[in-house]
Chains A and B, each alone.
Chain A
Amino acid sequence: MVNGIMKNFNVEGEKSLYNSRCISDLVIRGILFAAAVFGVLTVFFILLFLLKDGMPAFTSIGLYDFLFGQVWNPAGVNPAYGTFPLWVGTILVTLGAMVIAAPLGIAGAIYISEIASYRVRSIIKPAVELLAGIPSVVYGFFGLVILTDWLRVTFDIPSGECWLAGSILLGIMALPTIISVSEDAISAVPASYRQGSLGLGATHWQTISRIITPAALSGITAAIILGMGRAVGETMAVMMVTGNAAIIPDPIYNILSPVRTLTGTLGIEMGEVAVGSEHYHALFGVAVLLLAITLVVNISAQHIIKKIREKGTGAKKNGRKMIHIEFPVIKKHLHDSMKWLKYTLAGLLIVFLLYTSIIAGIAAVALVSLWYGYIKNLDPKKMQKLAFSLLYVSIGIILVVLAIILFDIISKGLPALSWEFLTGYPRDLGREGGIFPAIVGTLYLVGGAILFALPIGVGAAIYLVEYTGEGRLTSIIRSGVDLLNGTPSIVFGLFGFAFLVLFVDFGVCLLSGMITLGLMVLPTIIRTTEEALKSVPDSLRHGSLALGATKWQTIRKVVLSPAAPGIITGTILSIGRAAGETAPIMFTAVVFTTRFLPGSVFDPIMALPYHLFILSTNVPGASTNQYGTALVLLILVMAVYSIAILIRNHYHKSLRW
């Protein structure tokens, strides 16, 4: 059989090595490079633009007055722009949220990874992920209608819109982040540790509390910090339930006092500000401050995660989390050119740590006294029972919360659904009629955003992973992308408003909204695509290259198909996120009611999240349609997320090497 070879393409006698199929490869490389450059330039452009418009706030108001002024009153006769109550409000609400979410989240993560059976886990994990998918405006709506009312009655206060309401809501919203990142860290603890401990006769709980949790501790810390980042950047939900009075609670631990956060301030005031005024710059200053806080939070999380990776104990193989980052470049940049920011950050950090340590101290004292008073004398088996029942209670609370939210919205929303509601136009400020333009508007917005972000994001990621080495440049690029990834969505709204609506003069329209949302999901798409590409083993690339395939042939035929599920999942999650976001489109694309569908991309539109926001905050007596809108939005986003989860689970099972 060997003799019967017919030469198919390696023509006999053709010995030359100088052939070229390089032209198409070069063209494609060029296109990918352009995508990468565009993606990256946008990232830095956004940052610079915000800084540019925020700078006057610091110079004309004065850094000290801006940061530590006690009064924020832009509308007064003598306007005052002291952000002290605002960022203290942000910190208080965030800390409250962490006090609620951290114990629940860690307990939930331990339960899921250590105790739950395979079947239970395969139900609970997606449920927790669904919790992450609920749009923040829906949380806000729930908080406004149910939670604040409950608080008002329970504590007998004039209004339930307060610090506590914000913290509870943010706590629920931060739970999924905390649970899934901690769970990854716990699952990454080598099985040999567990076996070693159990083999010595330790109980399951002893193994969990003395071996596994300490080994996963840095990952869990990172999870809490990331949850904190999520809470700091949240706008809509907070704005709807905290009362928004720019005061510092008196006394400071009065959790029933209304507060106002940085994000809430932007959400409330940006729509009505006179462009170019001192107030306008002050708001950009607030955005810069917000950005700085999220930067500090994210840097610390990344730093911890990076350390875990270096030690090699942690989530080394967990390619699916998008959280490993090098920030040194940006840090250095800050150091060089903006010394003032450094001092600000240091100040913030000190206050932050102060509060954290107070609360941690109280918790520690409580735990220790509990330990000595009671628990210490228990034998290991009883101890395990006690601990496990606490875990069961925690996961129970999480699931009950999810169930309450879903039940409330579904049970009250279903009666509102009708053919007329889905296909009709709003009447009487949305109290009557349907939400058809809002559904169409949301679909347009999301479609446009993805069309804009997907090619650029995927192209940039392919270029970064496949064509460049890990050099200084890629590390700068990655820092920028990650910075943008952790940026609160309201900041994108601000940028879209200042740059697209005003500077480029698109006006409030579909196009501005599409681009703003596209920019918001761009980092997510770049990041998830990068992770998906990196998870494809190099042996496949080498196998293909050794057969004489070109780089692009290798990428297209061998690398992209196993990476596709990851890329698709990332894209779908971005779609879900874009569909549910309110803050970025609030000032860039939407109007409350329109009787027409958009005729071109330069028309303003209606969108579901914004419609729900206005209905629930500004239109009394629209209860039925509020719930109907919330349910439609919820179904839309949940459907998108479920598809993503299904695709991921399907491929996790069938893909292996």
Chain B
Amino acid sequence: MENHETILETKKLNLFYGDKQALIDVDLSVYKNHVTALIGPSGCGKSTLIRCFNRMNDLVSDCRIEGQVIYHDQNLYSPAVDVVHMRKKIGMVFQQPNPFPKSIYDNVAYGPRVHGIKDKKILDGIVEKSLMQAALWDEVHDRLDDPAMGLSGGQQQRLCIARTLAVEPEIILMDEPCSALDPIATAKIESLIDDLKKEYTVIIVTHSMSQASRVSDFTGFMYLGKMIEFGETEKIFTSPDEELTNNYITGRFG
């Protein structure tokens, strides 16, 4: 574990929604070009944690955060950080596919356009490359101008991944990306995640333990806002150190 380069690290992260504490002293290291899975029962704070990594929690009123999230030696929560610029480097794929009500092409080109690319040829290249990376190109290359809302759920989710890739982030956050999808679409996304880690760092929240064991290199188990155990996925799922983890992965609760 020591030879891996750490790209993102939380230090004593505490988060409150009003009076309610949702994260308690979370310490976590995320390694570059690996897939890290966060698992745990509903309400354990795993989605809250992943939303700290690109400050989507800023959009929740009365949400208060203490502690640090370190990315390339900089604290994401320091006042000097430009949230917008940061989110360009740490992208996010949401639980429900949320394509914009635009064409397939415009969905993928949205990010690059927002970041100032106007040249049609460059945009074409980015769109093609991103859709290929998201394994969607073959299905949609002849109808890029169709509305994205006409795609199936699984296609929409891969489109959202392509949209995120088009911005060329370093880290991709996925918040239960398959929970709204059928098994075949899920399998496609999972194999996609495997491809993506060559180029990107992926953090995925999932409620499916089998999914975590299939796609991730490292797994963190959370319970009631605390990071109970973190380690290589194989170890977590075969011989966890903590009793609580063992109970969860063997299905005794959750």
* Residues of A near any B CB (own CB < 8 A): 1-10, 15-22, 469-470, 537-551, 553, 557-558, 561-562, 655-657
Contacts and interface: CB of A to CB of B under 8 A. Distances in A.
Given A8-B122, A10-B89, A657-B101, A544 B199 contact: no
A17 B110 contact: no
A546 B164 contact: yes
B98 A543 contact: yes
A542 B129 contact: no
A542 B71 contact: no
B94 A542 contact: yes
Contacts of A18: 80-82, 85
Given A17-B81, A18-B82, A542-B56, A547 B111 contact: yes
Contact of A557 (B76, B84, B110, B160): B110
Given A16-B74, A545-B87, A557-B114, 13 more contacts: A5-B199, A8-B112, A9-B116, A17-B80, A17-B86, A18-B85, A469-B61, A545-B56, A546-B54, A546-B92, A548-B87, A548-B167, A561-B102
Contacts of A539: 94, 96, 98
Interface string B94-120: 101011111000000011111111000
B98 A547 contact: no
Question: Which of B86, B114, B116 has the most CB atoms of chain A within a 10 A radius of its CB?
Answer: B114
B132 interface: yes
Nearest to B123: A8
Nearest to A4: B129
Question: Which of A3, A539, A561 has the most CB atoms of chain B within a 10 A radius of its CB?
Answer: A539
B126 interface: yes
Contact of A547 (B88, B96, B195): B88
Question: Which of B54, B100, B112, B169 has the most CB atoms of chain A within a 10 A radius of its CB?
Answer: B100
A29 to B, nearest CB: 13
Given A9-B168, A546-B92, A561 B85 contact: no
Nearest to A25: B84
Given A5-B168, A8-B168, A17 B96 contact: no
Contacts of A5: 129, 168, 199
5 contacts: A6-B125, A546-B94, A547-B110, A550-B84, A553-B114
A332 B173 CA distance: 47
Contacts of B235: none
A529 to B, nearest CB: 18
A549 B85 CA distance: 8
Contacts of B196: 2
A546 B84 contact: no
Contact of B101 (A7, A15, A538, A562): A562
A540 B99 CA distance: 7
Given A17-B74, A542-B94, A549 B199 contact: no
A549 B114 contact: yes
Contacts of A550: 84, 114
Nearest to A562: B101
B45 interface: no
B133 A542 contact: no
Given A2-B198, A2-B199, A9-B112, A547 B101 contact: no
Contacts of A20: 82, 85
Contact of B56 (A6, A9, A10, A546): A546
Contacts of A561: 101-102
Nearest to A538: B59
Given A8-B112, A539-B96, A548 B80 contact: no
Contact of A542 (B59, B76, B80, B86): B59
Nearest to A655: B101
A604 B52 CA distance: 61
B84 A21 contact: yes
B80 to A, nearest CB: 5
Contacts of B158: none
B129 A549 contact: no
A643 B196 CA distance: 49
Nearest to A561: B101
Interface in B43-101: 54, 56, 59, 61, 71-72, 74, 76, 80-82, 84-89, 91-92, 94, 96, 98-101
Name the 9 nearest CB pairs between A and B, nearest first.
Answer: A548-B88, A539-B98, A546-B92, A19-B85, A547-B111, A549-B114, A548-B87, A15-B72, A543-B98
Contacts of A9: 112, 115-117, 168
A19 B112 contact: no
Contacts of A6: 125
B149 A1 contact: no
Given A1-B133, A2-B195, A547 B167 contact: yes
A6 B112 CA distance: 14
A547 B87 contact: yes
B163 interface: yes
A548 B56 contact: no
Contacts of A2: 133, 195-196, 198-199
A17 B85 contact: yes
A547 B163 contact: yes
Nearest to A559: B100
Nearest to A546: B92
Given A8-B126, A9-B112, A18-B82, A547 B94 contact: no
A475 to B, nearest CB: 14
